[in-house]
Amino acid sequence: MPARALSASRVRAVGILRDVLERGGLERAGVFTYSREPDTPGGSSEAGPTRGPTRGPTSEPAPEPTSAPATREPPRSSAPVSSSTESTTPSGSTTGEESGSNDAWWWLVLVVLVAGGLVAWFLMRRARSRRAWTARLTAAEGEVGWFARDLIPQLRGSGSLAGVAGGWHVASARVTSLDDQLSQLVSTAPGEGERSRATALRGAVRTARDRVVAVVSAGEGSQWSLDLDDAQAPLLGVLVPAGTTGPAAPGAGTG
């Protein structure tokens, strides 16, 4: 009987120790434990080594993943990335500002070129217009010279008032056309000096024309030769500069 009781107590002690090891987690650590057998009724006790670990049938914990610590990046590793991103952003904005500045310079150069082209075109057109006007004025001056140096001496040389009337009837249309040309030159003169010159020529032509018409209308018995000299005087005065002596008209002073 005592031996059987001893075996039963050992079995209970081993069960209790197993429960303690499972609860304390010492089974996973692989620790050797010793169990002390309870004292026998005879006063002797034996302590024997109990080799562990002993695994329970259903209490094995699931293994923890080992890849997470290896793949986790430390928080400080993100700092260089953000700094590099921040350092990249100003360079991009600087490039955009430089591109905008270059575009502004190109637009400014384009505006200057267009403005310069317009100014040059305007000056060239104005110069062409002035040259054309000057050419027309020169032609009109030639017609005034014809009136003063050719027509009036021819009328005087006809020898009679009837000859003067006939010659004026043929040439009066040309004189009227000269008056119209001078009127256009006055209205289109490029400057005040040019306008004054055209106005003086037109005034002389109109004065001479009116005097010739008066000679033709006076009839016989008038001093028509002297009246023709009076008609010629304003034309010569506008053609010959002041202080100079112009060529004497043929037949001047003859009656």
Q: Is residue 9 part of a domain?
A: yes
Q: What is the pLDDT of residue 213?
A: 93
Q: What is the pLDDT of residue 102?
A: 72
Q: What is the pLDDT of residue 245?
A: 46
pTM given for the model:
0.51
Q: What is the pLDDT of residue 218?
A: 82
Q: What is the pLDDT of residue 151?
A: 95
Other Cβ atoms within 10 Å of 190 Cβ, number: 15
Q: Is residue 88 part of a domain?
A: no
Phi, psi of 36 (to 5 degrees): -100, 125
Q: What is the pLDDT of residue 123?
A: 83
The angle at the Cα of 250, spanning 244 to 255, to the nearest 5 degrees, equals 115
C-alpha atoms less than 13 angstroms from C-alpha of 250 in its C-beta half-sphere: 9
64 Cβ neighbours under 8 A, 6+ residues apart: none
Q: Is residue 219 part of a domain?
A: yes
> Does the bond joining 53 to the residue before it have cis omega, within 30 degrees of 0?
yes
Q: Is residue 96 part of a domain?
A: no
Q: Is residue 91 part of a domain?
A: no
Q: How far is CA 160 from the centre of its chain?
A: 77
Q: Is residue 69 part of a domain?
A: no
Query: Per residue in 99-134, pLDDT tens?
Result: 666 777 888 888 888 888 888 888 888 888 899 999
Helices (H), the chain: 2-24, 26-29, 67-71, 78-146, 152-157, 161-187, 192-218, 224-239
Which residues of the chain, if any, have pLDDT below 50?
1, 26-27, 29, 31-63, 65-71, 77-88, 242-255
Letter string b/e over residues 141-161, b meaning 16 or more CB atoms within 10 A of that residue's CB:
bebbebbbbebbebbbeeeeb
Domain that holds residue 6: 1-24+33-38
Other Cβ atoms within 10 Å of 233 Cβ, number: 17
- Checking phi first, is residue 20 left (phi over 0); if not, alpha (psi -120 to 50) or beta? alpha
Q: What is the pLDDT of residue 110?
A: 83
Q: Is residue 211 part of a domain?
A: yes
Q: What is the pLDDT of residue 32?
A: 45
129 in helix, strand or coil? helix
Give the total number of structural domains in the chain: 2
Q: Is residue 99 part of a domain?
A: no
